[in-house]
A = this chain, B = another copy of it.
Amino acid sequence: MRIDGLQYANWSEKIFRQLREGGVDAVHVTIAYHETFRETVLNFEKWNRWFEQFPDLIMKGQWASDINKARETGRTAIFFGFQNPSPMEDDIGLIEILHTLGARFMQLTYNNQSLLASGCYESEDTGITRMGRQVIKEMNRVGLVIDMSHSADRSTIQAADLSGRPIAVTHANPFDWAPALRNKKNDVIRAVTENGGMFGFSIYPHHLKNKSDCTLQEFCEMIARCADRFGIEHLGIGSDLCQDQPDTIVEWMRVGRWTKDIDYGEGSADKPGFPDMPAWFRDNRDFGNLENGLRGVGMSDAEVTAVLGGNWHRFYAANFIPQV
Residues of A with Cβ closer than 8 Å to B?
Answer: 37-38, 41-42, 44-46, 48-49, 91, 93-94, 96-97, 100-102
Question: Is A45 a contact of B97 with CB atoms below 8 Å?
Answer: yes
Question: Is B45 a contact of A91 with CB atoms below 8 Å?
Answer: yes
Measured between beta carbons, the chain B residues less than 8 angstroms from A97 are: 41, 44-45, 48, 101
Question: Is A48 a contact of B93 with CB atoms below 8 Å?
Answer: yes
9 contacts between A and B (CB under 8 A): A37-B38, A38-B38, A44-B97, A45-B97, A48-B96, A49-B93, A97-B101, A100-B101, A101-B101
Whole-angstrom CA separation of A37 from B100 in the bound complex: 16
Copies of this protein, total: 2
Measured between beta carbons, the chain B residues less than 8 angstroms from A42 are: 93
Measured between beta carbons, the chain B residues less than 8 angstroms from A100 are: 100-102
Whole-angstrom CA separation of A42 from B94 in the bound complex: 8
Whole-angstrom CA separation of A38 from B91 in the bound complex: 12
Measured between beta carbons, the chain B residues less than 8 angstroms from A101 are: 97, 100-101
Given contacts A38-B38, A45-B96, A100-B100, 15 further A-B contacts (CB under 8 A): A37-B38, A37-B41, A41-B94, A41-B97, A42-B93, A44-B97, A45-B91, A45-B94, A45-B97, A46-B93, A48-B97, A49-B93, A100-B101, A100-B102, A101-B101
Whole-angstrom CA separation of A145 from B37 in the bound complex: 26
Whole-angstrom CA separation of A45 from B41 in the bound complex: 16
Measured between beta carbons, the chain B residues less than 8 angstroms from A46 are: 93
A48's nearest neighbour on chain B, judged by CB, is B96
Measured between beta carbons, the chain B residues less than 8 angstroms from A48 are: 93, 96-97
Question: Is B45 a contact of A93 with CB atoms below 8 Å?
Answer: yes
Measured between beta carbons, the chain B residues less than 8 angstroms from A49 are: 93
The 10 closest A-B pairs by CB, nearest first: A45-B93, A48-B96, A100-B101, A41-B97, A44-B97, A45-B97, A38-B38, A100-B100, A48-B93, A97-B101
Whole-angstrom CA separation of A101 from B94 in the bound complex: 11
Whole-angstrom CA separation of A100 from B46 in the bound complex: 14
Whole-angstrom CA separation of A97 from B100 in the bound complex: 10
